[in-house]
Structure 1
C-alpha cells in the first residue's frame, strides 16, 4: 500500500501538532466533572468548609465537583489518593495543616511527601484555637492573670485536648513552653468530652478549636482569654490575640488548602488559584464561612508553598517539645 512520502515539512508539521495537543487540552480544562477528595468524615469542619467553597468553585470553573470523603490515618489516606492521581487537574484535594506540616513528624511511614508530591493552588481557610477556662472554676479574667494563677499552683495546671498530636494538644505544649507554666496533658476523644470535664472542674484549661466552644463562651460558662489567630476573630471582637494578651509569636491556626498532584500543568494550577481568589473576595462567602466557624483565605501557589514551609518549621519544634515520636 502506497504511503505519503516522509519529508522535512511533514515532520515539522507533525511535531508542531503534537506540541500543541497538551496546550489545547489545558485550554479546554475542565471539560468534565472534577473529583474533590476530603480526607475526613462528612460533617466535620474540613468537610463543611470545603463543601461551602465547592459550591462556588463549580460555578467559576463551569463543572461539577463530585465530593468524596476518604477518611483514615490522620487524613493521609485521602491525600495520598490525590498525590497518586493523574496530574490532569481532575482530582483536587482538601488538605489541612496536618498533611503539610505535622503528620510527617508523628507517622513513621508516610505514604507521600507533601513538599515533593503535592502542589497547592491556594490556601482556602483558617480556624483559630481559643484559650479557655471554665468561669465557675477559674477566676482569671485575662491570660496574664491565668498565667500568674497557674504558676502559683504547686502542681501546675491540666490542659485538655482532643488527643495527642492534634493542634489543640500541640497548642497546649507551645503555651506551656512559652509561658513557663507547669502543665499536664489530659487527652480526650474530642471537645464533646473536654468541655464537660472543664465545666466539672476536672481540667483547668484548653487551647482548643474555637468552633467547638462558641456556645459555652456565649452562655458565659466558658471564658475566652485569647485567640491564636494573627488578628482578633470577627465573631469574638472583644477577645485579644495571644500577642495582645502578652504571649508573642503564638499564631496557631488549623488551616486548609487545595492540593493537586505534582506535575499538574501550571495553567490549571493558576486557574484554580484565580477562581478561589474571586470566591474569597465575595462578601457573602466570607459571611458563610464565618458562620461555619472559619475564615476564608486565598493566596498564590508560591505564597501557599512558603506558608506551608513556615508552618512546618514551627510544628517540627512544637512536636519536639511535646516529646511525641513517629509511630
Structure 2
C-alpha cells in the first residue's frame, strides 16, 4: 500500500525526471578525455584532430589528450576505442575506410563498424588527380584519359597502400573511363611523390593535402578534384564532373565516434560542441589551408552516410581485387 507521503512525492519525482538528461549532458566531461588517432603522428588526420582537441579543451573546460595508436590500416586504433569503457572518456576518429570499406576488404575485422557510436562527420579530404608536369603532357583530365588509352601497356598509379581510398578511387576511376591501370602501393604519399616526379609512376588519385606543396611548386599538375565542389584554395582545378567524369564524388571523410554502448548524453554534448567549432571562420580557414573541408553532421546523418556509401566502396574493392587476410 502506498502511504500519503509517497503519493505526494510522486508528482515531484515525475516533474524532475525531464531535467535529468540535460543535467547528465552538462556533467560531461568531468575529467580528461582521451582521443585515439589510428594513424601515426604528423599525418593529416593527426594534425586535424589536434586542431579539434585544442578547441574542445578551451570550450568544454577539460583536457583532451591525443593518443596515436597506428597499425593495420588504422584498425588497431579503431578496435582499441571499440573495446574501451563506454563512459564517454575515450573517443576515436574513424575514416570512411573504417566505416564503409574495411568490412569488404578484410577477411576479419576485430570491431563491428555498424556498432560504433558516431558523433558526426568532422571533415572531408577530396582526392586529386595528379600527373608529373615534367613527364606528362596532359593539361586536362580528358587529355590524360586519351594519353593513357594510347599506351599499349596501360598506366601505373600510386597510392599510400592497398585498400586505401586513393587505391580504390584509382581502381574505380580506371574502370569508369576505360583505362588499363596497374596499382603501385607505397607506404605513403611521401614515398610515392619522388617516384612520380622521377617519371617512374604515371598518375595518382590521392588526398589533395599530400600534394598541395608540389602542385603549387609547379612540379605536379592537378587535373581534377573528387569533391562535389571546387576547393576554394585551388579554385582553378575543376571537379571530376566538370572535367567530364560524372557521378564521381569520392572523398575521404572522418567522423569522431564513441565505443558501442556509450550513453546518448556525451554524444549529443560532443556533437553540439563540434557544430559550434565548425561555424568558426578561423577554424574553417585552418582546415582549408591544410587541404580539408571542415564539416558537421548529426550522429544520425553520419551513420546514414556510412551506410549509403558502402555499395560504392564494395564495388571499388571488387574492381581492385584487393583482399587483406
Same fold (TM over 0.5): yes
Residues 200-247 of structure 1 show CA distances to partners (whole Å, capped at 9, x for unaligned) of: 211111111212211211111111100111111121100001111011
* Count of residue correspondences: 322
Q: Which residue of 1 aligns with 2:68?
A: 69
Q: Which of 290, 308, 311 is 2:309 aligned to?
A: 311
Runs of 5+ in structure 2 lacking a partner?
Answer: none
- Which residue of 2 is the match for residue 215 of structure 1? 213
Partner of 1:232: 230
Indicate conservation of the 8 Å contact 2:28/2:269, yes or no: no
Structure 1: tracts of 5 or more residues without a match: 1-5
Cα distance between partner residues in 2 of 1:195 and 1:63: 40
The 3 A distance-change label for structure 1 pair 62 and 180 is same
Contact 1:105 1:326 (8 Å CA) reproduced: no
> What's the TM-score, normalizing by structure 2?
0.92
CA distance in 2 between counterparts of 1:101 and 1:9 reads 56
1:253 counterpart residue number: 251
The answer to whether 1:120 aligns with 2:125 is no
TM-score normalised over the length of structure 1: 0.91
Give the 3 Å change call, closer, same or farther, for CA 139–13 of structure 1 in structure 2. Answer: same
User: What value does the CA root-mean-square deviation take over the aligned residues?
Assistant: 2.4
- 3-state SS in 1 of match to 2:29: coil
CA distance in structure 2 between the partners assigned to 1:187 and 1:112 by the alignment: 25
**Equivalent-residue separation in structure 2 for 1:192 and 1:169 (angstroms):** 15
For 1:49, the equivalent position in structure 2 comes to 48
Aligned with 1:114: secondary structure? coil
In the TM superposition, residue 106 of structure 1 has moved relative to its aligned partner by 2.0
Match of 2:199 in 1: 201
DSSP 3-state at the match of 1:120: strand
3-state SS of paired residue (2:136): coil
Q: Is 1:26–1:265's contact at 8 Å kept on the other side of the alignment?
A: no
Check the 8 A contact 1:126/1:295 in 2, yes or no: yes
The structural deviation recorded for 1:196 is 1.8
Structure 1 residue aligned with 2:100: 101
Query: What does residue range 1-327 of structure 1 map to in structure 2 within 5 Å?
Result: 23=21, 24-116=23-115, 118-327=116-325
